[in-house]
Amino acid sequence: MAAWPPTMPAAELLRAWLQALAHERRLSPHTVRAYRHTGQTFLAHLRQVLGEEPEARHLAGLTAADVRGYLAARRMRGLGNRGVARALSALRSFARFLGRRSGLQMSAVLRIEAPRLPRAVPRPLAADDARALAETAGHAPIPWIAARDTAVLLLLYGAGLRIAEALALDGGVWPLAQTLRVRGKGGRMRTVAILPVVAQAVARYVDLCPFAPQRGAPLFRGAKGGPLSADVVRRAVRQARVRLGLPETATPHALRHSFASHLLARGADLRAIQELLGHARLSSTQIYTEVDARHLLDVHRSTHPRG
């Protein structure tokens, strides 16, 4: 374990951490961007407080008051409890990375307690709404783009993929088999089942797409043939939910939630759902039991005779 010199710029340590997140831990680009933003705002805050560029020695000498000062500054700019918790989680990841790689201890970061948050329960869509969202989002004026958007969203709802996982699929997976190997968070591999309706939607996209699927290139292409951006898919979903009158919680990720919730409602085993979703811990999957219980209570309240 080689120690970094005390005068090494903190910006270089930040770059090393972000590279490890992307290439070693294989976190999603969205997560890496969020962590980069936290790291950059943290160093900018230190630069303002110190009056000079922060270095490794400054990170090692941080106090709890320094960290709280940064979080307080973020709150003044409108960051709520959930955002503060995410920022603190990113800083803890940075601190643990520095400790593992060089023994540089940012112990003050690890001592700060995150704000208490109500447990977020996923908001799945009704089965009919989930299918309608996927189909309505695929209404682009160019037929192959419309087919592409529908295929991507059906992979989320029909196979439980994260949007980043669907967009990372390589052209070499075509033609699809009855199962598909997917690389998820942390580089973990899992096998998902491909339903006929999903396979048909992908086949229609491939048939219309002007860019033939090939190994080493993304299966889902942008309008000019490059990798498809998640923002493009999210925009199509936003437009579709407005047309359908669905709430703002009807997002691409809500389709994955719907996949899990609907499986549970049909009696699927929780461990099996955990495997299909690629959750590292069963506790992440158990939240769907709360969704199912909440749905039953809603049905009870709306249908039970009140005398």
Tell me which residues are annotated as active site.
162, 185, 253, 256, 279, 288
Decide if 70 contacts 45 (C-beta within 8 A). Answer: yes
**Nearest 5°: phi and psi at 64?**
-60, -35
User: CA dihedral in degrees (55, 59, 62, 64; nearest 10)?
Assistant: 140
Strand partners, 170: 218
DSSP H/E element including 181? strand 179-183
Q: How far apart are CA 159 and CA 154, in angstroms?
A: 7
CA separation, residue 74 to residues 36, 58, 69, 290 (Å): 15, 20, 9, 32
* Cβ atoms within 10 Å, residue 87: 23
Strand partners, 190: 182
* Cβ atoms within 10 Å, residue 155: 32
Q: What is the DSSP letter of 173?
A: G
Q: How far apart are CA 213 and CA 175, in angstroms?
A: 9
CA separation, residue 137 to residues 147, 198, 225, 265, 273 (Å): 9, 15, 20, 26, 26
Peptide bond before 175: cis, by omega within 30 degrees of 0?
A: yes
Decide if 36 contacts 77 (C-beta within 8 A). Answer: no
